[in-house]
Amino acid sequence: MTTRTEPRPAKLTRKGEQTRMRIVTAAAQLMFDNGVAGTTMEDVKEAAQASSSQLYHYFADKQALVLAVIAYQDETVVGGQEPMLARLDSIEGLRAWCGFLVQHQRDLECRGGCPIGSLGGELAETDPKARVAVSGAFQRWESGIRGGLHAMHERGELAADPEDLALTILAALQGGLLLTQIHRDVRPLEVTLKAMIDHVAAHTAQP
């Protein structure tokens, strides 16, 4: 599961890279708001203020654009959390990360769900390349969560398998986000993440 996305066209100019990124960010926002099926290449063209020739220069078809959006969300969502994930080697770090996740859903009024999970749920059965790309993003996320737990385990502070724990926390986060999106209520995410913190705390020597 290493093939995350198609290789980018090589040697983009600085301006070309900017145009490409403008298209990808516009597509990512549209797909977050309306789903992949609810987003046409025409919508993306308008939102990105790009010409058809620009759009199809960078992306042969909608599937290529979808893969670029998954890579972008991987970088934005998982990459953006990495400074916080790097501090998950304590209950306090876990609390700070969970607090951020809950506040972020409050800010969004519980709309949209997880930008990666939503893409995965919509595309898993119809676009095998997209499924593999989302699988890669989830593995990176799980690995980020696992790092701190491994450190706690190594230091003898955590008496539980960090592998299983990291996978459980990511699953609980995804399910909490889905229920929060569906009910338009932050409580499912809040309660589920609190249970995860308690679950980790029950296996640690930390307060």
Instruction: Report the interface residues with its own copies, using CB under 8 A.
Output: 1, 33-38, 111-113, 117-118, 120-122, 124-126, 131, 134-135, 138-139, 164-165, 167-168, 170-176, 178-179, 181-184, 187-189, 191-192, 194-195, 198-199, 202
| CA gap 63, 59 in Å, rounded | 8
Eight-state DSSP code of residue 78:
I
- Token couple for 113: 């769900």
Least distance (Å) between residue 29 CB and its own copies: 12
For the CB of residue 175, give the shortest distance to its own copies in the complex, in Å: 3
Q: What are 61's two structure tokens? A: 């078809």
158: helix, strand or coil: strand
Q: Which C-beta is closer to its own copies: that of 147 or that of 188?
A: 188
Nearest to 105 by CA among 191, 194, 180, 196: 180
Q: Report the nearest approach of its own copies to the CB of residue 152 (Å).
A: 16
Sign of CA dihedral 125, 127, 128, 129: negative
Cβ proximity to its own copies: between 10 and 202 the closer is 202
- Smallest distance from its own copies to CB 87, Å: 22
Is residue 132 within 8 Å of residue 120, measured between CB atoms?
no
- Closer to its own copies by CB, 54 or 168: give it: 168
